Amino acid sequence: MKKLMILLVLAASLLTISVAFAAEKNTMAAQDTTATEDSGHAAMQAKMAKMEGKDIYKSMCKACHGPDADAGEYTPMSLIMDQWDEFFADTFAESHKDVVCPKDETKKVTDVFTPKMLKKVQKFCVDHAADSEQPMTCG
């Protein structure tokens, strides 16, 4: 009877260790997935940080604001300079807070753009607005 009790205690101990090991393994796997997602996000931001405003616009904005887009077609020529400044100062964050990033569907557009990248896009739009010296559609 004593041997049976010892075997039961050992079996229960092994089961507890196995469950704890499996839980730790799942936690580590989840952390690895998060780290991979974060590094992918960081890599995308680093790549975009090196881009000019026009290239960021083409890469990020045009996906939702091209011809026949549900969100409406917008090019720098769609607005005048003051309207672009007002849009980026007052409207962008609120109007895009729930918009999914076309380059990373796990992120919102507002989470992807750094202030510096947003300034580059704003400068591109203002510099090529309808009332600018060099209006542009963004090709």
The predicted structure's pLDDT at residue 113: 92
The reply to whether CATH 1.10.760 applies to domain 51-139 is: yes
Label residue 52 left, alpha or beta by phi (over 0 means left) and psi (-120 to 50 means alpha): beta
Q: What's the Rg (C-alpha) of the chain? A: 26
Domain boundaries, the chain: 1-50, 51-139
- This prediction has a pTM of 0.69
pLDDT in tens, the chain (139 residues): 555 445 444 444 444 445 444 555 554 444 444 444 566 667 777 777 789 999 999 999 999 999 989 999 999 999 999 999 999 999 999 999 999 998 889 999 999 999 999 999 999 999 999 999 999 987 6
- Identify the sign of the CA torsion 111, 119, 55, 36: negative
Tell me the two tokens of residue 91: 């409207």
Q: What are phi and psi of 128, to 5 degrees?
A: -120, 25
User: Residue 100, SS3?
Assistant: strand
